Structure formats: structure tokens, C-alpha cells
Amino acid sequence: MAGTKYAYVRTFELPDTLLPGTFMVFRLDGHSFHRFSDMHNFTKPNDARALQLMDHAARDIMEEYPDIVLGFGESDEFSFLLRKSTTLYNRRESKIVSTLTSLFTSSYVFHWPEYFPNNPLKYPPSFDGRIVLYPADNHVRDYFAWRQADTHINNLYNTVFWALVQQGKQTTAEAHATLRGTVSKEKHEILFSRFNINYNQLNEQFKKGSVLVREEIPEPQLGATPAIPAQEDNFISTPETSPTGNKKKKEKRKAKPKTHIVVLHCDIIQDGFWITRPGLLID
Amino acid sequence: MAGTKYAYVRTFELPDTLLPGTFMVFRLDGHSFHRFSDMHNFTKPNDARALQLMDHAARDIMEEYPDIVLGFGESDEFSFLLRKSTTLYNRRESKIVSTLTSLFTSSYVFHWPEYFPNNPLKYPPSFDGRIVLYPADNHVRDYFAWRQADTHINNLYNTVFWALVQQGKQTTAEAHATLRGTVSKEKHEILFSRFNINYNQLNEQFKKGSVLVREEIPEPQLGATPAIPAQEDNFISTPETSPTGNKKKKEKRKAKPKTHIVVLHCDIIQDGFWITRPGLLID
Amino acid sequence: MAGTKYAYVRTFELPDTLLPGTFMVFRLDGHSFHRFSDMHNFTKPNDARALQLMDHAARDIMEEYPDIVLGFGESDEFSFLLRKSTTLYNRRESKIVSTLTSLFTSSYVFHWPEYFPNNPLKYPPSFDGRIVLYPADNHVRDYFAWRQADTHINNLYNTVFWALVQQGKQTTAEAHATLRGTVSKEKHEILFSRFNINYNQLNEQFKKGSVLVREEIPEPQLGATPAIPAQEDNFISTPETSPTGNKKKKEKRKAKPKTHIVVLHCDIIQDGFWITRPGLLID
Amino acid sequence: MAGTKYAYVRTFELPDTLLPGTFMVFRLDGHSFHRFSDMHNFTKPNDARALQLMDHAARDIMEEYPDIVLGFGESDEFSFLLRKSTTLYNRRESKIVSTLTSLFTSSYVFHWPEYFPNNPLKYPPSFDGRIVLYPADNHVRDYFAWRQADTHINNLYNTVFWALVQQGKQTTAEAHATLRGTVSKEKHEILFSRFNINYNQLNEQFKKGSVLVREEIPEPQLGATPAIPAQEDNFISTPETSPTGNKKKKEKRKAKPKTHIVVLHCDIIQDGFWITRPGLLID
């Protein structure tokens, strides 16, 4: 065969199998999104449409890859937890990282017009992705706690910062100077005393980020409001339909209960979230 | 700081630096593109619009990443050569693989309507990517020879196969049976005797794939036809404009001659292509 | 400085950090020990002196590296468990693998004359080593169960095989043929009916391998027989003295109870061994 | 089979293949040899017996592993070059690193009494090893130049330092202070003016380290003095006999000319050494 004499070049492809029995956390981040958000006039400090588009792309990934059991997003980043027993693509690192990053990106561009109908994309945005392995449950919980704590810190800062700029008419340099060295309590106070904003009453999505989990659809009440633990009152639910339409085949394979993916804006640092969802860390 | 007690989770991020002084070949492949091409009614055996869209996305990547000096595409795959001295993202494997795959995907979805104006995307397509390292010039040449030989083999097979099906009214199973065990010469003969097709006169893009290289723009004749070696008569040239619009900054940094990326459909197995472009393998 | 222009070659040294939070199992195997044991007239099927020398080298490693909490040896192989929190050599794989293999080898050659006083080494033996990571307790237990089950299987086979050869006067080919397809029970019966050997009464070391653990030395009775759980009646105990003599320094650093390393020939497949030693898997 | 249920633990053993087509440099270093040399009364600044023992162990490795084409040693370290086409142990990193380190260590301990007949080993010494990959000839040459330049720098420093201490009766602190900031020329002058030592006339082994290469044994004059390039007048030659005695088998396999390993103390920074030995870098 004509190609045979060159086929030796395949021997340079080295295996990149990820250690079995460990949780994979896949995180992706927007590439140069500071500029991207400026170019597309994102609302500051948070653009609800942009966040919902991120959530949509995340949901598409989770619908396509059942081994992803949890997603957490804030700003231009999203983290996903794959069960530790997953054998997705034989646990090949490049294959998993590139495919998940690609599908997320594709979904983001594909659904853009639904969220920005009057604001067409000016150029194709991109994301980078990576996988970090965590051997134990507590590492996974601490990882997601780290991201949600970060969400809180960043959002509080940005909220005050943009209030100072937009309503307080400070320059961005002045706003940074005003905030330098302030602790959390002082930031709350600036917001309340100078701008009459009660931080605690702001949109939960901005303060807590987006938490995507699978919930079972109760059999008799198909289509009814899914039963969500009472304390989590912010969510969007979508009936799970695969973005690539190959749902039927999968459902035949396994007689598992029907699930859909819900978007919550709840606390994932405390025990409650994890205790009520033992399946997240079980295998 | 609130997040500090969790920040230890970052110690699980291990370095994935790629060996310095080696060529990187980045290859991406369409994910489930058999189904994707069916769902979007791609012409068989080759869909010119789909191939041009692949070329467009490839050009976007090369415009954004000057360290990519060569691209080669066929069907739903594309390979890119990064110079061996590149320090892109400090040679971190996941960062490079995920970012390049993401930008390619993004560009593919972004430019889809230009190539399929009456055929909107039904769902977001995705790609997977990987990097293979090659230490020496001859490995790189053999890698690209391998891909182009593969292009030829696949295209000849597919051309006969679809002639048998579309014009010969065979079932796909019958067509595969007809072709089983045939050598190249016999396939040419089937094409010519039964369907009056001279394989050698088919579109060069289908037979040779797409070769993307940078060509200098001659200073006085900006906008004129770029000087291409005479034997390569199939190309599309596009003035290089960054998909993210940040071209100006880059041009200031370096006083290099202006280049643009050209799409050729020429032989890259023989010496000629490489000898006339010593810069491809120089560092 | 003269060497400066060449120092760039260090940039080719890539990090090889092992994932934190995972147990390391370091295993080494004799290199061409079939030949080595022939050349040095090892007794078949088991040479007690050779096994004791292996145990001695293993003890030397455990005395030098406090993060090794368990050793298991059989034939010409030894496995060691490093605690999952170990930061030995910053968890650099090559450094750990090479250093531990080197010290084991060195100790083996160094102590050879004590075990083979009339049988000098004919040439320097060597070992190879590797590290396997295990994320969870059950993996570690199953790893050591795997090695001990292997010990049992091999020893039963070898015991019958050599009885057939040495006492039954079969050729080695005949002995293999005799054993082909036999199950465990049949092997026991051959031993008992033809050679009057009760397998269960053989040396525990041959049947179970060697298990090395640290035991606390009871404070008041320094030098007295260490307290070993009653059911484990086969052991050699040695007061812990570092092979490199730097024991004092280490003892000053930590006020931990004095321990020594004991060699047991006990079951490590069942729960008992692990339940009575919770420290093995604790961190 | 009894062990079957545990055999899954093998799936945690991940491949560690080294990139094909690259030179491997294997370097080993003495572990805590400062202390080791003190404990065994090594002569300062150089102990000829200890260096010859290092050379002997290095020769043993090169005799056992024909794919090692070059060795370079100084002080308590040794570097070895493996041909870039080597398939030793399928290029598995841990296997190669651990086996070579083990054999070197073993040989060092085994041959110790020949070099230190009245100075028995007090405890088993150990070494650590690592492999660095180099894609191109010039990297390899620069690596070895780096080591030899380092040899020169260290030896000059140590020679003056120990002259100041041993003959000049300075304390070690004083000697370091005397040398602080001095350039090469000043060190030469101290040696000459205060101790009447002409550095250039010192033992070549101390100044240049040990260079081990294979030389063909001229057919007719077997056993005669091997033909060594005239400018290299310091060497020890040894007829190549495998330390493990399996030489005959190997010789039957290949009809290559007989070679032996010679120890030179010549310059390897300049071109001469490499030009006269094109085989070192050829494949």
C-alpha cells in the first residue's frame, strides 16, 4: 500500500492514559474573554445572557457525556466532574480534553444568537481546557468549594468596582484604589451606604455561580416541575435531549430512570448539597 | 481570604511540558462526522463547500498562531506543523491542544453560513485533537507524506465506490464487494470503462488535499496575485487578517515581511515542495 | 563562566511529579535471576538464605526511608508501600525509583557474604524497579493480596515440580507435563501421596512470603522481645539501625515512639492484618 | 485462579515510553557522597581509586548494554549516551533508569575491594539516576560539553581549596573566603605562586574526567595494544567481557567487529573527538 512506508510515524504517538480510579475534573476558561466581552458589549459586572449561554453549552456537554455528573460555572469558566470509574475514551487525556473543549465551544457559538439576538458574534471565541485528577472525595469537594469561594470573592469585588465606576463616576484606577485593602465587610458597606445596594439581595447566579446536576424525572408527573430540594429555589430545568439526537440508542442500552439536567445557584461548599446527592462521589 | 483553605487543590495540577527542540504536529479530526455529513447532506464522495470551510477554519488558526508554519487537510481532518523552537504557551500540551481545537471548532461553526447559506447547522459539531512530537526533519516530511498518501488512497476508493452506488445503482454492500481486493490500477479502470471518469482530471483538492503555507506578499504589488511556484496551479489566497482583530499589535512587534496564507493543492510527498520552502523545517 | 553557554541543556529535563494524595507502590524484581540463581547454586524450590538476604535488603530500605510503611517479598521480587502523603524527593518518579532500586541492590551485594559465606558472588546482580500509584485503600489491599496469592500459587507449583524432579526423578519436561491442568487440590495430593509431604507444614516464609512492618518498641523493655500479635509466630526482629549511620539526627527531629522493623510470614489477604494496623493506610 | 480477582490492579500500571528517535542521556549521581567519601577516607580533592572504581562500574554497564555508545564520568557522577534508535526495554523509562542504576551500583559495591583492599565498605552506597532526551546532535554535544566544563571548573576550585587547607593550613571557611570572586587565572596563580603546583601538569583524569568509548580491536593483533588516536595518551583498555558471562550468545547473533571499551581522559568539547567518531551520533 502506498502509505505503508510512512506509517511508522504513528509510533511517535505516545499513550496518555489518565490514572484509573481517580476523579477527573475538567475545567475550561475563555481565551482572552476580557477583550471578547468588551467587543460584544457585555453588561458589567455580570451579563446574564452570557452566563446563561455558558450554562447552555455546559448542559449540552453533560447531555452528551453521561459520565459528567456535575458542572460548576462562573464568569467565563466552567468545571466538570467525571465519575472516577469513567472509561470515557479509555481515559486518554488529549482525546477527552480536546473533545470536551470542542463541544463546549461549538455549542457556545451555535447557541449565541438565541441569547444575543441583536448582537451578532464579531469573531469566533475560543476556550482552553485541562484535566486535573483528584484521588479522594474531599479533594473533589474542596475543588468545587475553591471555585465557588472564588466566585463570591470576585463577584463582590466586581460589584463594588462597577458601582464606583458606573454610578460613582470614578475612573477604573480610582475604583481600584478605593477598594485596595478593603475586607469583605467594608465592601458590603460601600455598596449599601453609597449605592443603596444590598449585596445579599443580588441575583443568586452572580453570587454563587451555576451548578448543573442531573435530577431524576418523577415517572408519573412527566413534564411537571421537577422535585428540587426546597432550599434551592433558583434553577432552570430543561428536558434532556441530546444535542446530537442520538438519545434513543442510549436509552435502550440502559434502563436507568429518566433524568434531566437542572441549573441551580445553590451553595456547594457546605455539606448539604453533597449529602443529598451521594451519587456524585460514589464511583 | 475565603478561598485560601481550598487553594491546595492546585497542587494536583501537574506540568505537561512537551520536550523542547522537537517539531509538534497538531492533528484534529471530526467527531462522528459520518453522521454529521449525512445529517447535513454533504455531497459524496467529496463536498467542496465542506472542504473549503475546513480550509477556512485552518487559515484562521494559522493567522492567529504564527508558529504554525504548515497545514494539511483532507476530509474531516487537519494537521498543523509548529516550528520546533516554538514556546507557545510554554509548550504545555493540554493548553495547546485544547486552545487550537477550540479555535478551529469555533471558526468552523462561525463561518458555516458562508459555505452553507441554505443549509443551517442542525447541532454543534465537534473535533478531537492531539499533538505528536517529531524530533527530525525526515519524520515531519514522512508524517505529511503519510497523510497525503492516505488522502489519495481514500479518495480513489471513495470515488469509485460512490460512482458504483450513484451511477451504477449498486447497493453500498455490493459496491464494497466490487472493490474488495482491487489494486489502484483496477480502480482507475472501473472508473474509466464503466463511468467514463478520468481520475487524473478530477479536482486537485479531492486528490491531494489542502496545503496551507505562508507566502510573502511582494511589497510593490500588494493585492496582486502572489507568486506561487509554477507547478502549483490550484490555490486560494486570502490576505491575512486575524480572526480576532489583534493583528496590528503583532505587526508592530516584528518587522517581518508581510505574509498571507495560501491554500495549495500540490504534492508534498516529493522533495520539490520542501526544497522551495526551507523555512518550514529550519527551526 | 565556562559552562554557561551549555547550561541550556538542562531545559530538556522535564518534571515527572507523581500525583499527590495517592499511595505509591514501589516494586522491584531481580534481573535475569533464573540464571543468577543457577550460577550461585540456589536451593530449589526455595533458598532460605537468598530469601533472608532479600529481607535484609528490604529492611535496609525501610530503615532509611521512614515513609515506607510496608514491604512484601517473595522469590526475587519485593514490593513497598509508601504513605499517600509522602513528599519523598518531591514525589519525583525517576529519583524515587532509581534511588530505592539502587539502595536495595547495594544492600543485597553488601550483605551477600553474611548469607553465602562459602559462595562468593560471581558477578554483580541487578534489579529493575517501578512505581504504581493507587488512589484508594482497597486498591492497596488488593495489590498486596495479588502478590501474596501469586506467592502461594507459584510456591505450590514449584514445590511439586521440584519434588517430581529431585525425588521423583522426572525430567523437567516430564514434571511440567505431570502438572499441566492440575488444580490446587491435586497438587497437594501428589505431594502427599507420592512424596509424603504435607504442604501445610512447610516453612511459612515459602508459602506466604515476607511481610515487613514497623512495630513500636515497648518503652520499658528496650531490647526485650518485641510484642508481636500472637497469631503471627514467624518473624525475625532487628533493632532499627540505619545502614548509613545517620540515625541520631533523625531521631532528634521527631519525638515519635521508637520502632523497629519486623519480618512476618503472615496472611495479608484477610482483614485481620490490616485492621490491627490502621496506620498503614491512614495517610 | 486464586489471584485472578486481584489482577485488575495491573491496570494502574501506566506506560512510560520515551519518545522514539531521540538520544537518551542517562545520568547517575552518588547519593550523599560527601558523607560517603568522608566515611571512607577518600583523598581530597580527588581520590584516584574511587574514580577508577567509578570507571569500572561504568565499563560494566557499557559491556552489558551495547546501545550505550559513550560514557562520561567525574567525581561521583556518570553520564551515558544511548543511541537514538535504541529499543532497549521498549524505551520504557522506569525500566531503563532503574536497571542501569542498579547494575552500576551493584558493580560499584562488587568491585570495591579491588580498589580499596584495606578499606572495607562501611555501609552500602547508593546512586540516583534519570534520563534526559535530546532530539539533535548538537544538544548531545552540548550536554557532554556542559559536564566536562563543569569538571574543569569544579576541579580547579577544589584543587586550590584543598591546597589552601592541606598545605596552606587555612580552615575550610578561610579557604572558601580566599577563593570568593576569583577568576580562573587567579586560581592558577595561587596554585603556582603559593604551592608551586602547575595545574596543567596535574593528572588528566582529574582535569578532564573519564571518557568511555568502544574501540574496534584490530583483527590480526588480538590482544595487542589497541590503536588509539595519538593525541589521546591517557587510557585504560580492557578486553570486553560481560560481567554476567553471557557474552558468547551475543557474539553469535551479530558478526560485528570485536570491540573493547577504552577509558580516555581527552577533550570532548572541541570537534576533534566527535569528528573522529561519527558512529556516536549516527543513529
Interface of D with A (CB under 8 A): 11-12, 14-15, 17, 19-21
C contact test, residue of A17, A18, A19 with most C CBs within 10 A? A19
One-letter amino acid for residue A68 of the chain:
I
The verdict on a CB contact (< 8 Å) between B94 and A97 is: yes
- Contact partners of B by the rule of 3+ C-beta pairs under 8 A? A, C, D
ipTM of the complex: 0.88
Distance from CA of A7 to the nearest CA of B (A): 6
- B11 → closest Cβ in C11, C15, C20: C20
* C19 contact residues in A (CB cutoff 8 A): 19, 22, 133, 135
Query: Closest residue of D to B134, CA-based?
Result: D21
Whether residue B234 contacts residue B262, with contact meaning beta carbons closer than 8 Å, is answered with no
d(CA A85, CA A23): 8
Per-residue pLDDT for B234 more than 80? Answer: no
Question: How would you label A141-169 residue by residue, b for 16+ Cβ within 10 Å and e otherwise?
Answer: bbbbbbbbbbbbebbbbbbbbbbbbeebe
The verdict on a CB contact (< 8 Å) between D17 and A12 is: no
| Low pLDDT (below 50) residues in chain A | 1, 222, 224-236, 238-252
Per-residue pLDDT for B229 more than 80? Answer: no
- Tell me the mean pLDDT in the region B190-209: 94
Residue B214, SS3 per DSSP = strand
Is B33 annotated in a binding site? The answer is yes
Is A273 annotated in a binding site? The answer is no
Interface of B with D (CB under 8 A): 19, 21-22, 84, 133-136, 139
- Tell me the mean pLDDT in the region B142-161: 96
- Contact partners of A by the rule of 3+ C-beta pairs under 8 A? B, C, D
The verdict on a CB contact (< 8 Å) between C22 and A84 is: no
One-letter amino acid for residue C251 of the chain:
E
d(CA C166, CA C82): 41
The verdict on a CB contact (< 8 Å) between C134 and A22 is: no
Whether residue D213 contacts residue D274, with contact meaning beta carbons closer than 8 Å, is answered with no
Query: Closest residue of B to A121, CA-based?
Result: B110
Between A119-123, C59-63, D147-151, D222-226, the lowest mean confidence (pLDDT) is in: D222-226
DSSP B153-199: HHHHHHHHHHHHHHTT---HHHHHHHHTT--HHHHHHHHHHHH---G
D contact test, residue of A8, A10, A13, A14 with most D CBs within 10 A? A14
- The interaxial angle of helices D48-64 and D93-115, nearest 10 deg, is 140
DSSP chain D: -TTGGGGGGGGG----BPPTTSEEEEEEEETTHHHHHHHTT--SS--HHHHHHHHHHHHHHHHH-TTEEEEEEETTEEEEEEPTT--GGGGBHHHHHHHHHHHHHHHHHHHHHHH-TTS--SS---EEEEEEEE-SHHHHHHHHHHHHHHHHHHHHHHHHHHHHHHTS---HHHHHHHHTT--HHHHHHHHHHHH---GGGS-HHHHH-EEEEEEEPPSTTTTSPP---TT---EEEE----TTS-HHHHHHH--PPPEEEEEE----SSHHHHHT-GGGT--
The C-alpha cell of D153 is what? 571548573
Distance from CA of C135 to the nearest CA of A (A): 5
Please write the tens of the pLDDT for every residue from D102-141: 999 999 999 999 999 999 999 999 999 999 999 999 999 9
The verdict on a CB contact (< 8 Å) between B143 and A110 is: no
* B20 contact residues in C (CB cutoff 8 A): 11-12
One digit per residue, pLDDT tens: chain C, 283 residues?
Answer: 455 899 999 999 999 999 999 999 999 999 999 999 999 999 999 999 999 999 999 999 999 999 999 999 999 999 999 999 999 999 999 999 999 999 999 999 999 999 999 999 999 999 999 999 999 999 999 999 999 999 999 999 999 999 999 999 999 999 999 999 999 999 999 999 999 999 999 999 999 999 999 998 876 654 544 444 444 444 445 444 444 444 444 444 556 778 999 999 999 999 999 999 999 998 8
Is D126 annotated in a binding site? The answer is no
Whether residue B268 contacts residue B144, with contact meaning beta carbons closer than 8 Å, is answered with yes
Is D79 annotated in a binding site? The answer is no
- C19 → closest Cβ in B12, B17, B20: B12
Give the pLDDT score at B258. 86
A212 sits in which H/E element: strand A210-216
C contact test, residue of D126, D142, D247 with most C CBs within 10 A? D126
- A97 → closest Cβ in B97, B146, B245: B97
Per-residue pLDDT for D67 more than 90? Answer: yes
Per-residue pLDDT for D202 more than 60? Answer: yes
- Tell me the mean pLDDT in the region B117-130: 98
Percentages helix, strand, coil for chain A, rounded to the nearest 5? 45, 15, 35
- Tell me the mean pLDDT in the region B261-267: 97
Distance from CA of C103 to the nearest CA of A (A): 28
The C-alpha cell of A273 is what? 448539597
Per-residue pLDDT for D175 more than 50? Answer: yes
Alpha-carbon Rg for chain D in angstroms? 21
* A3 contact residues in B (CB cutoff 8 A): 146, 149-150, 153
Give the pLDDT score at B228. 43
The verdict on a CB contact (< 8 Å) between C99 and D31 is: yes
The verdict on a CB contact (< 8 Å) between C11 and B19 is: no
Residues in the annotated binding site of C: 29-34, 75-76
Is A33 annotated in a binding site? The answer is yes
Give the pLDDT score at C220. 61
Spell out the SS3 assignment of C219-268.
CCCCCCCCCCCCCCCCEEEECCCCCCCCHHHHHHHCCCCCEEEEEECCCC
Give the pLDDT score at B52. 97
Interface of D with B (CB under 8 A): 19, 21-22, 84, 133-136, 139
The verdict on a CB contact (< 8 Å) between A136 and C21 is: yes
Interface of C with B (CB under 8 A): 11-12, 14-15, 17, 19-21
Query: Closest residue of C to D35, CA-based?
Result: C244
- C12 → closest Cβ in B12, B14, B19: B19
Give the pLDDT score at C131. 98
A127 closest CA partner among A28, A207, A19, A275: A28
* A87 contact residues in D (CB cutoff 8 A): none
The verdict on a CB contact (< 8 Å) between B134 and D84 is: no
Distance from CA of D86 to the nearest CA of B (A): 15
